[in-house]
Amino acid sequence: MKNRVFLSVFTLLCAFTIFSPNTFAQDYATWSLPEGAKARLGKGQISEVQYSPDGTRLAVASSIGIWIYDAQTGKELNLLIGHTSRVNSVAFSPDGNTLASGGEDSTIRLWDVRTGKHLRTITGDTGWISSVVFSPDGSTIASGSRTWRRAVHLWDVNTGRHIRKLTGHKDEVRSIAFSPDGNTLASGSKDETIRLWDARTGKHRRTLTGHTSEDKSVGIGINSVAFSPDGNTLASGSEDNTIRLWDARTGTYLRTLTGHTDWVYSVVYSADGNTLASGSWDNTIRIWDAKTGKHIRQRTGDTSRIRTVAFSLRRFTGDRGRVISVSLSPDGNTIASGSYGGTVHLWDASTGRHLRTLEGHTASIDSVVFSPDGNTLASGGWDDTIRIWDARTGKHIRTLKGHTRMVYSVAFSPDGNTLASGGDEWPIYLWDVRTGKHIRTLEGHTGWINSVAFSPDGNTIASGSYDKTIRIWDARTGEHIRTLEEHTKSVYSVAFSPDGNILASGGGSDIIILWDVSTGKPLHTLTGHNRFGETGLNYNVSFSPDGNILASGSLDGTIHLWVVRNGTHLSTITGPKSWIQRVSFSPDGNTIASGGVDGTTRLWDVRDGTHIHTFTGHTRTVNSVSFTPDGTTLASGSADGTVLLWELTSPE
């Protein structure tokens, strides 16, 4: 068992043509894969979108790298991989030949736009890089830190040499911008201020204040700053839901643009300076007359959907993602928007008409599960949707829409025809997998749904909730059967034993409970997890295929194995001190897969607890792991917005 070999990517694929790279419908699903992976579903959570100066390319900063698109066709051109964590910001050089990217790995990377070749890594800022921007002459890069470092750094593009550090902000720097003449640098911070600096000397010129919160205990971050093309005006977008315009030379406050109902995350001027676009967490893009501050009204044939050019992503596409980045094409005709929900949309700037969606991006994925026949994969996450994928080809089959909040858990019925889902809202939804239609809603919980599970016969559904209860439902009628109330904190995970007679639940304490399904009575209470000497959250429980062993993963960084028959502790699997989000048994019961906060997926030998293999490639927490029924493939769903399919071998 210890000598078990896990082949690198495509070794086994060559032997089984069903998993040949040529079968993957989207070529980009196999681009720049980590070792051991055969496909990536989704493109990562979006941070920022930027047009190239000539308008031909669109760069999308994501949690896994930088995607380069053809701005006219929406076709994927390249995926730039190198950052070891989320990419927060991208910027094109003025000539469009170089792309700069800043990430949570505290590095700035420079890329050749035409070839995708990595040119240089700039290091020295020890905080997360929140924003990068080129000076107008292309010789300097400015970067802002989104941690306690509170600084703006200037770097020489050609050598990577650090030029100077600008200090004075009292909290993280979220946005920076050069004036068109390159003489002034503006920085917006979580400390509610905007600072203007002499870009040549680093001298602080003035501080602009005005964005404030009614609640003085909560700071109002300045999320975006942008100079008008003539350099006379500075726009700032803030968490007070407003945009403010300032005289860039004197710092005089000019006016406030109101209308957004949530944080303004991005502001950008059109090339002629007449128009200002803003993106907000209220799911809208708004277009403003930059001189008067008024909304620009645009009529279309569908006046019920567009009353002004305050474009609602929800109404246009059904995408409920909060808008975090907007970019105007150089000719001013097109707006690109990136949302926290994981989509990039292109819009006609003058009419508000939706032009195109760049598909494949997703927000944080909390749950992945294979269908009983192993041919289909379902994933649910923070984009409020469930995605159905062909597990053999990687092709996206359909998206199930109906949730209004994040999806935390998905589960197939034993016949594979029905999918149950629960999330950051109180109902449970049942779906027809073949058609994608909503079948039924189960209501009764008074807190969000953390976990759902079908009984082996498919007749019963169990759900665990933040309301500290477990509810048992008739899967055919949706009727509530009973409520199990023994947990004193949120229930994070529920699982049926293979014979359906026992239900295991883990929650927001060190307690795991085994229940008699027929009576709803507790059989055994299992304790033992702890974190730093305190009780540890039991995020996940999983039965072995024969039903004799229960595995539990916890924030204490351990996996505990329990004897189901009498509830006694069998053994403890320990590894790196990383919170364990999810555990799952392989179909033969010999291996346990675990997903951790450190972004790794690990395999463990059940019999002696030894570590077998570690899969690396996710840039954020692995929230879910699932084996195919034949045990040849492992899926991991991550907060980086992707699902990775890993190739496994048999013990032989």
- Cα Rg for the chain, rounded, in angstroms? 26
pLDDT at 264: 92
For residue 240, is it within any domain? yes
Beta-carbon-side half-sphere exposure of residue 341 (alpha carbons within 13 Å): 32
- Residue 606 to residue 502: CA distance in whole angstroms: 21
pLDDT digits (tens, 9 = 90+) for 562-619: 999 999 999 998 876 778 888 999 999 999 999 988 899 999 999 999 999 999 999 8
Report which DSSP code applies to 33: P
Contact (CB, 8 A) for 376 and 433: yes
Are 475 and 354 contained in the same domain?
A: no
Are 402 and 349 contained in the same domain?
A: no
- Residue 445 to residue 409: CA distance in whole angstroms: 15
Contact (CB, 8 A) for 636 and 646: yes
The owner of tokens 């690198």 is: 8
- Residue 289 to residue 78: CA distance in whole angstroms: 36
- Residue 127 to residue 147: CA distance in whole angstroms: 6
For residue 135, is it within any domain? yes
The domain in which residue 523 lies consists of: 397-601
Tell which of 328, 358, 388 closes a domain: 358
For residue 385, is it within any domain? no
- Residue 405 to residue 199: CA distance in whole angstroms: 43
Tell which of 294, 327, 358 closes a domain: 358
For residue 7, is it within any domain? no
- Residue 122 to residue 141: CA distance in whole angstroms: 10
Are 422 and 300 contained in the same domain?
A: no
Are 450 and 593 contained in the same domain?
A: yes
Are 345 and 465 contained in the same domain?
A: no
Tell which of 332, 358, 384 closes a domain: 358
For residue 549, is it within any domain? yes
Are 219 and 291 contained in the same domain?
A: yes
Are 158 and 111 contained in the same domain?
A: yes
149: tokens are 């470092």
Strand, helix or coil for residue 17 = helix
- What region, left, alpha or beta, does residue 605 occupy, with left being phi > 0 and alpha being psi -120 to 50 degrees? beta
The overall longest dimension of the chain from CA atoms, in Å, is: 76
Are 346 and 405 contained in the same domain?
A: no
Contact (CB, 8 A) for 321 and 383: yes
For residue 634, is it within any domain? no
Partnered with residue 599 across adjacent β-strands are none
pLDDT at 149: 59
Partnered with residue 173 across adjacent β-strands are 189
Contact (CB, 8 A) for 233 and 246: yes
Strand, helix or coil for residue 215 = coil
Are 51 and 145 contained in the same domain?
A: yes
For residue 169, is it within any domain? yes
Are 54 and 167 contained in the same domain?
A: yes
- Residue 580 to residue 641: CA distance in whole angstroms: 18
Are 457 and 516 contained in the same domain?
A: yes
- Please say whether the dihedral angle defined by the alpha carbons of residues 596, 45, 626 and 39, taken in this order, is positive or negative: negative
DSSP string across 95-152: TSSEEEEEETTS-EEEEETTT--EEEEE----S-EEEEEE-TTSSEEEEEESSTT-EE
pLDDT at 538: 57
Question: Looking at this protein, which amino acid is placed at residue 293?
Answer: G
Q: Measuring CA to CA, which residue among 444, 405, 404, 402 is closest to residue 419?
A: 402
Could you give phi then psi for residue 437, rounded to 5 degrees? -80, 145
For the chain, list residues with pLDDT below 50.
1-25, 297-320, 532-536, 650-652
Contact (CB, 8 A) for 59 and 47: no
Contact (CB, 8 A) for 186 and 176: yes
Structural domain count of the chain? 2
- At 116, which CATH number? 2.130.10.10
pLDDT digits (tens, 9 = 90+) for 347-360: 887 777 878 878 77
Question: Looking at this protein, which amino acid is placed at residue 371?
Answer: S
- Residue 210 to residue 181: CA distance in whole angstroms: 26
